[in-house]
């Protein structure tokens, strides 16, 4: 336990407000007490121990004299052996220091190595971090406890961060202080504190400047020494610091943050050459982040490299994704890697690797790895430490991915509005690239969203004669409106025969005759304006023409809808009927589409006007994994024929609920030639791409008005399904589907095969037409559940 006794520099003591003095008397007193106390374990009962205590009584309290006197130095070290265990002397960082000054007197080798400067005369790093105010408060509390019996707990952790001189890594120490060998003395008689002073002392215990006015430091001395034990808490402190850092999402995606995390990991593992790497799974890509990346400070994976997941098939990363255990790679050069990854490993100098899968809510979201430059250099201890931080990085990656998705969604909503879930993956990729460019200060626009070689599936169930029914409702409402007005004017003329009233009645009759003979485009507006400005304006005066006129005016006003300024009875019945029919048919199509969406994802959009139409695209380019088979295409075409039967049957069942008679006609457009669709950012919708593909859009917009060639008959008819095609293969496939649905009871009769009159810009179209079995029990059974659901929400 041999060690040099260190002389205390006078400068630090002079700067401290209290007079402090190194002394062994408190220790000797303590040991004597232990020797005679029957309740205390005996340090020694040998004659040598008693002799030591007798000799120690004559030991000078001057550190310099102890240091330069061989006899005193030997006695001092023997006494200190009862304070510091010889067994742990070379392994524990302990020291004896002058009270409240951190001036060293006796230090262990580990303490000297960690806390003392090069000339080993002052614990420079220790003192540099000390708190002068805190040391003064501690001294006052010590004086108050020993001399005034005022006891206050003042125990707070003293943590110091020290750079290890061997590794250069930071280490964290909790400095535990033992004051058993310190005595407080008053110069002369201790001051007697009044009750007011005691109260003030208790109130301002943490205010040294106030305490000085009551207990001046010059009136007191502190003798003895303090035992300091530096306990290494690096492991727990680093875990806490890592958890604190990882709360901030920037810590794993910015260069500064990630380097700080890596430095903490190096300290935790005790390896200055350790390199960390992080990979996050986003859609079908791996976002690679590591210290070798050209990362900027304010980005969300912006500088990470995006690598398809397929590139890591057959590697240790794929093995890591299948479980939760950490995978050890003794020598990275002996593993199978993708070409670019192998080159990076050689350049980085990685040889040993530990790869930890990151799991969040039972879902694999990425990997976290640490590497060392030598083979077989990371073993079970490093695996155990990596396992401790594994959940912290999993939560951090999940938060960063959530934030990334939120930013992507904001871009998609701003640039593209709502996007169908099937193709959302493609918009996320584009938004991610757009976000990266913006965060790197580049001029950026959303990249084109184009899907090639997709098959269009189009169908429409149109309310037949909707324009005619709407015009008829308007006409009847206007007739009723004019008749009520004419009644008021005639009653007023009878009460007071005035030529002006006869003229006004004639003008009302002219409008009525015009409406009864047919409705022109401007009639609705002109009639309502005439009645409001010419007829209703005189009602206040006409009400004074007698009770008969007053009752006629009241009947007129009660019939008027205040929201539209006219009679709206038949039009309301018509609109309610159209809304009911649209609601039920749209809900039926949506629910049926959800079933085939579950079988094979596809793009789907549905619109409501006077009827319901839908558009579906299927194809390999719409799938993130690129999988497609024509079997799914044929299944969708059979599905749309079955759904058309259901919509015709639905219309028939809804007729008793409609106050206005409405019929629906059903049409399917076949196209066996794939096309390309492009998202139009200005219009925020998909559109066909290319001159040839525009033909399909033209047909869609005009086909519902098609007529059979050589006849004036509309192709679409209530109770029938029309299938428009242009190629013989399309006809053959649809005939197979028709034959199957006839056997199932959905369709009846033989299909008609007709040619269609040319449409503007489109020639050569043909069609199949067949009757729906509107009494079909098979259809009734197939849509029964939908009827229940729709009835509940209606």
Backbone φ and ψ of 149, nearest 5°: 55, 35
More confident residue, 129 or 220: 220
The radius of gyration computed from the CA coordinates of the chain, to the nearest angstrom, equals 47
Cα–Cα distance, 668 to 646 (Å, whole number)? 14
Residues near 735 by beta carbon (within 8 Å), at least 6 away in sequence: 751, 768
Residues near 453 by beta carbon (within 8 Å), at least 6 away in sequence: 619, 620, 621, 674, 675, 676
Q: Assess whether pLDDT exceeds 90 at residue 668.
A: yes
Q: What is the mean pLDDT of the chain?
A: 81
- Owner of token pair 């062994």: 24
Q: pLDDT value at position 92?
A: 92
- Residue 222 has which token pair? 């502190």
Q: Assess whether pLDDT exceeds 80 at residue 578.
A: yes
Cα–Cα distance, 727 to 723 (Å, whole number)? 12
Q: Sorting pLDDT into bands at 50, 70 and 90, what band is 267?
A: confident
Q: Assess whether pLDDT exceeds 90 at residue 612.
A: yes
Half-sphere exposure of 495 (CA within 13 A, CB side): 17
Q: pLDDT value at position 62?
A: 62
Q: How, if at all, do strands 685-688 and 766-772 pair? A: unpaired
Cα–Cα distance, 232 to 182 (Å, whole number)? 25
Q: pLDDT value at position 518?
A: 86
- Smallest Cα–Cα separation from 592: which of 637, 632, 639? 639
Burial profile 671-709: b = 16 or more Cβ within 10 angstroms, e = fewer? beebbbbbbeeeeeebebbeeebebbeebbeebbebebe
Helix, strand, coil % in the chain, rounded to nearest 5? 50, 20, 30
pLDDT (tens digit per residue) in 376-390: 888 888 888 888 888
Q: Sorting pLDDT into bands at 50, 70 and 90, what band is 503?
A: very high
Q: Are 556 and 485 in contact (CB under 8 A)?
A: yes
More confident residue, 291 or 3: 3
What percentage of the chain exceeds 70 in pLDDT? 82
**Which whole-number Å values give the CA distances from 761 to 43, 603, 709, 731, 764, in the listed order?**
112, 27, 16, 22, 11
Q: How, if at all, do strands 19-22 and 220-224 pair? A: parallel
Q: Are 535 and 482 in contact (CB under 8 A)?
A: no
More confident residue, 756 or 1: 756
- Quick check: helix, strand or coil at residue 674? coil
Q: Assess whether pLDDT exceeds 90 at residue 680.
A: no
Which residues of the chain form CATH 3.30.450.40? 236-431
Number of H helices, E strands in the chain: 27, 23
Q: Which of 112-121, 294-303, 621-630 has the lowest mean pLDDT?
A: 294-303
pLDDT (tens digit per residue) in 651-662: 998 888 888 888
- Residue 396 has which token pair? 């951090």
More confident residue, 534 or 336: 534
Q: Are 6 and 95 in contact (CB under 8 A)?
A: no
Q: Assess whether pLDDT exceeds 70 at residue 601.
A: yes
Half-sphere exposure of 195 (CA within 13 A, CB side): 0
More confident residue, 483 or 67: 483
Q: Which of 56-60, 384-388, 514-518, 562-566 has the lowest mean pLDDT?
A: 56-60
Q: pLDDT value at position 363?
A: 84
Cα–Cα distance, 391 to 395 (Å, whole number)? 6
More confident residue, 131 or 244: 244
Q: Assess whether pLDDT exceeds 50 at residue 293.
A: no
Q: Sorting pLDDT into bands at 50, 70 and 90, what band is 717?
A: very high
Helix axes 630-654, 569-599, angle to 10 degrees: 150
Q: Sorting pLDDT into bands at 50, 70 and 90, what band is 259?
A: confident
Identify the CATH assignment for 236-431 out of 3.30.450.40, 3.40.50.300, 3.40.50.11260, 3.60.15.10.
3.30.450.40
* pLDDT (average), residues 668-676: 91
- Quick check: helix, strand or coil at residue 692? coil
Q: Assess whether pLDDT exceeds 80 at residue 45.
A: no
Q: pLDDT value at position 484?
A: 93
pLDDT (tens digit per residue) in 142-159: 899 889 888 877 666 788
Q: Sorting pLDDT into bands at 50, 70 and 90, what band is 298?
A: very low
For residue 216, what is the DSSP state?
A: -
Q: Assess whether pLDDT exceeds 90 at residue 732.
A: yes
Cα–Cα distance, 667 to 641 (Å, whole number)? 9
Cα–Cα distance, 666 to 652 (Å, whole number)? 13
* pLDDT (average), residues 254-264: 83
- Smallest Cα–Cα separation from 574: which of 654, 652, 659, 657? 659
Half-sphere exposure of 379 (CA within 13 A, CB side): 3
Cα–Cα distance, 45 to 49 (Å, whole number)? 7
Q: Assess whether pLDDT exceeds 80 at residue 727.
A: yes
Q: Which of 250-264, 386-400, 477-491 has the lowest mean pLDDT?
A: 250-264
Q: pLDDT value at position 767?
A: 94
pLDDT (tens digit per residue) in 520-571: 878 888 888 899 999 999 999 999 999 999 999 999 999 998 888 888 888 8
Q: pLDDT value at position 307?
A: 58
CA dihedral 398, 402, 404, 410 (to 10 degrees): 180
For residue 533, what is the DSSP state?
A: I
pLDDT (tens digit per residue) in 195-250: 899 899 888 888 888 999 999 999 999 999 999 999 988 888 888 888 888 877 66
- Residue 625 has which token pair? 């994994």
Q: Assess whether pLDDT exceeds 70 at residue 295.
A: no
Dmax of the chain from CA atoms? 147
Edge to edge, the sheet with strand 19-22 lists: 19-22, 220-224, 182-186
- Smallest Cα–Cα separation from 458: which of 264, 157, 677? 677
Residues near 730 by beta carbon (within 8 Å), at least 6 away in sequence: 670, 671, 672
Q: Assess whether pLDDT exceeds 70 at residue 709.
A: yes
What percentage of the chain exceeds 90 in pLDDT? 27
Q: Are 505 and 592 in contact (CB under 8 A)?
A: no
* pLDDT (average), residues 109-121: 75
Q: Assess whether pLDDT exceeds 60 at residue 2.
A: no
Q: Assess whether pLDDT exceeds 90 at residue 648.
A: yes
pTM, rounded to two decimals:
0.53
- Residue 240 has which token pair? 């806490």
Cα–Cα distance, 140 to 145 (Å, whole number)? 9
Residues near 791 by beta carbon (within 8 Å), at least 6 away in sequence: none
Q: How, if at all, do strands 611-618 and 603-609 pair? A: antiparallel
Q: pLDDT value at position 414?
A: 59
């Amino acid at each position: 336990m041999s060690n040099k006794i260190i002389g205390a520099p006078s400068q630090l003591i002079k700067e401290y407000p209290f007079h402090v003095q190194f002394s062994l008397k408190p220790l000797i007193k303590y040991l004597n007490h232990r020797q005679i106390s029957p309740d205390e374990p005996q340090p020694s009962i040998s004659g040598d121990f008693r002799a030591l205590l007798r000799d120690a009584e004559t030991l000078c309290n001057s550190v310099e004299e102890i240091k330069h006197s061989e006899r005193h130095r030997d006695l001092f070290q023997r006494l200190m052996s009862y304070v510091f265990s010889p067994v742990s002397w070379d392994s524990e960082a302990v020291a004896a220091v002058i009270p409240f000054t951190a001036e060293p007197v006796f230090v262990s080798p580990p303490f000297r190595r960690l806390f003392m400067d090069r000339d080993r005369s002052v614990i420079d790093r220790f003192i540099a971090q000390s708190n002068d105010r805190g040391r003064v408060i501690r001294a006052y509390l010590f004086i108050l406890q020993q001399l005034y019996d005022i006891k206050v707990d003042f125990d707070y952790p003293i943590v110091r961060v020290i750079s290890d001189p061997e590794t250069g890594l930071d280490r964290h120490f909790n400095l535990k202080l033992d004051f058993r060998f310190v005595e407080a003395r008053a110069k002369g008689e201790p001051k007697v504190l009044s009750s007011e002073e005691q109260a003030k002392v208790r109130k301002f215990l943490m205010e040294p400047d106030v305490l000085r006015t009551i207990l001046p430091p010059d009136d007191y001395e502190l003798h003895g020494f303090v035992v300091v034990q530096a306990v290494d808490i690096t492991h727990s402190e680093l875990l806490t610091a890592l958890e604190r850092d990882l709360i901030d999402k920037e810590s794993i995606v910015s260069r500064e943050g990630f380097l700080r995390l890596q430095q903490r990991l190096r300290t935790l593992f005790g390896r200055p050459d350790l390199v960390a790497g992080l990979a996050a799974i986003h859609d079908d890509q791996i976002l690679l982040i590591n210290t070798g990346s050209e990362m900027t400070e304010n980005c969300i994976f912006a500088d990470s490299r995006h690598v398809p997941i397929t590139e890591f098939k057959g590697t240790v990363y794929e093995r890591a994704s299948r479980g939760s255990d950490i995978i050890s790679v003794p020598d990275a050069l002996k593993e199978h890697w993708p070409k670019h990854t192998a080159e990076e490993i050689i350049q980085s100098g990685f040889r040993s690797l530990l790869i930890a899968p990151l799991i969040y809510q039972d879902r694999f979201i990425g990997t976290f790895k640490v590497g060392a430059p030598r083979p077989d250099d990371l073993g079970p201890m490093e695996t155990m430490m990596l396992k401790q931080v594994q959940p912290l990085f999993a939560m951090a990656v999940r938060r960063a991915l959530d934030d990334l998705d939120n930013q992507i969604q904001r871009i998609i909503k701003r640039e593209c509005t709502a996007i169908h879930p099937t193709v959302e993956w493609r918009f996320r990729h584009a938004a991610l690239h757009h976000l990266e460019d913006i965060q790197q200060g580049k001029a950026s626009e959303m990249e084109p969203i184009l899907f090639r070689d997709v098959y269009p599936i189009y169908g429409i169930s149109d309310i037949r004669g909707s324009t005619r029914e709407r015009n008829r409702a308007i006409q009847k409402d206007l007739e009723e409106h004019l008749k009520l007005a004419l009644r008021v004017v005639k009653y007023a003329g009878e009460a007071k025969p005035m030529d002006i009233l006869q003229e006004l009645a004639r003008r009302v009759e002219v409008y009525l005759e015009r409406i009864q003979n047919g409705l022109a485009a401007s009639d609705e507006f002109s009639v309502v304006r005439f009645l409001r400005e010419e007829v209703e304006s005189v009602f206040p005066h006409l009400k004074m023409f007698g009770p008969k006129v007053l009752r006629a005016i009241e009947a007129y006003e009660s019939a008027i809808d205040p929201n539209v300024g006219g009679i709206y009875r038949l039009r309301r019945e018509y609109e309610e009927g159209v809304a009911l029919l649209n609601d039920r048919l749209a809900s039926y199509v949506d629910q049926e589409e959800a079933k085939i969406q579950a079988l094979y994802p596809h793009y789907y959009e549905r619109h409501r006007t006077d009827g319901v139409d839908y558009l579906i695209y299927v194809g390999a380019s719409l799938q993130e994994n690129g999988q497609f088979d024509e079997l799914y295409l044929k299944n969708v075409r059979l599905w749309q024929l079955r759904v058309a039967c259901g919509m015709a049957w639905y219309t028939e069942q809804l007729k008793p609920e409609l106050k206005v008679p409405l019929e629906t006609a059903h049409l399917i457009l076949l196209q066996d030639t794939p096309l390309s669709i492009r998202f139009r950012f200005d219009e925020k919708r998909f559109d066909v791409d290319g001159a040839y593909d525009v033909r399909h859009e033209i047909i869609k917009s005009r086909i519902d008005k098609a007529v059979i060639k050589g006849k004036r008959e509309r192709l679409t008819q209530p109770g029938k399904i029309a299938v428009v095609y242009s190629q013989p293969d399309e006809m053959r496939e649809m005939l197979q589907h028709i034959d199957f649905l006839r056997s199932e009871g959905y369709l009846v009769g033989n299909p008609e095969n007709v040619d269609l009159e040319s449409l503007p810009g489109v020639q050569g179209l043909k069609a199949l037409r067949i009757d729906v079995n509107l009494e079909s029990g098979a259809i009734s059974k197939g849509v029964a559940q939908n009827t229940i659901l729709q009835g509940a929400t209606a």
